[in-house]
Amino acid sequence: MTVENSPPAWSTSIIVLTLARRVETELNTALAPLDLTVGRLGLLGHIAGVPGASFSDLARMSGITVQSVHSAVKALVKAGLVHDRTARAGSASTIEVTPEGARLLESARKVVAEADERLFGPAADPVQQRVGRAVRRAFHGEDV
């Protein structure tokens, strides 16, 4: 967050939003070779991390509509990344990550770790380094 690209210092919301967009752009670029986006990775991660989650649960966790989740899950099924074991329309779904989906998630974790290093590691802008440390402390209690 160099001076010429800095958002107005008067708004924490604007600063966080600006950084979030920068992070999302970096992650989308890094994930593209895996045929993933931040949103698709998030949904796949929710499916893997919350067994038995309903379409409504996934929509709430992902911040999208139930209809969008249905479409996204169909795309993940078509790509061989998840199984949707829905017995029939209107019934509860059992959505699970396939072995291929699990391999993709592992590859994505490595790509995200590399992006984190670029964005918040020792060679990153000092402000972003401080933000990275603050976020880790806030969410993980790390003393960094």
pLDDT at 142: 60
Residue 80 resides in a domain: yes
Residue 52 resides in a domain: yes
CATH number for the domain harbouring residue 36: 1.10.10.10
pLDDT at 51: 83
pLDDT at 53: 86
For the chain, give the number of residues. 144
Give the chain's end-to-end CA distance (angstroms, integer): 20
**Is the confidence at residue 130, as pLDDT, over 60?**
yes
Stated as kind and residue range, the H or E segment containing 77 is helix 66-78
Which residues, 6+ apart, have CB-to-CB distance to 121 below 8 Å? 129, 132
Summarised one tens digit per residue, pLDDT across range 38-66 is 999 999 999 999 988 889 999 999 999 99
Domain assignment of residue 17, given as a range: 9-133
pLDDT at 137: 94
Residue 43 resides in a domain: yes
Residue 141 resides in a domain: no
pTM for the full model?
Answer: 0.82
Structural domain count of the chain: 1
Summarised one tens digit per residue, pLDDT across range 63-115 is 999 999 999 999 999 999 999 887 555 666 789 999 999 999 999 999 999 99
Residue 101 resides in a domain: yes
Residue 142 resides in a domain: no
Q: Are 73 and 82 in contact (CB under 8 A)?
A: yes
Stated as kind and residue range, the H or E segment containing 71 is helix 66-78
Q: Are 118 and 22 in contact (CB under 8 A)?
A: no
Residue 2 resides in a domain: no
Residue 69 resides in a domain: yes
The DSSP bridge partners found for residue 95 are 84
